[in-house]
């Protein structure tokens, strides 16, 4: 594999991953989480489901 081929492949993968992540960020409740001590950023979202509260008060 030549150097030029590797660059093209890397660019293609980057574009595909960028589109996948941008689509995920368009979902309701999605947030891009980044921090200086994180190796990678992550997309998280609120699924809209909350744990049920105990009806017995405990």
At residue 20, the pLDDT reads 92
At residue 48, the pLDDT reads 66
For residue 19, being part of any structural domain is answered with yes
For residue 58, being part of any structural domain is answered with no
For residue 57, being part of any structural domain is answered with no
- Looking at residue 38, the DSSP 8-state letter turns out to be -
For residue 8, being part of any structural domain is answered with yes
pTM of this prediction exceeds 0.85: no
Q: Which tens digits make up the pLDDT trace of 5-55?
A: 666 678 889 899 999 999 999 999 999 999 999 898 899 988 766 556 656
7-17 burial by CB neighbour count: b if 16+ within 10 A, else e? eeeeeeeeeee
At residue 25, the pLDDT reads 93
Domain interval for residue 39: 3-45
The residue written with tokens 């093209």 in the block is 8
At residue 12, the pLDDT reads 87
How many domains does the chain fold into? 1
For residue 39, being part of any structural domain is answered with yes
């Amino acid at each position: 594999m030549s150097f030029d081929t590797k660059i093209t492949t890397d660019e293609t993968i980057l574009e595909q991953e960028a589109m996948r992540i941008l689509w995920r960020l368009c979902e309701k409740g999605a947030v891009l989480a980044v921090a200086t001590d994180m190796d990678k950023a992550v997309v998280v979202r609120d699924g809209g489901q909350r744990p049920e509260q105990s009806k017995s008060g405990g």
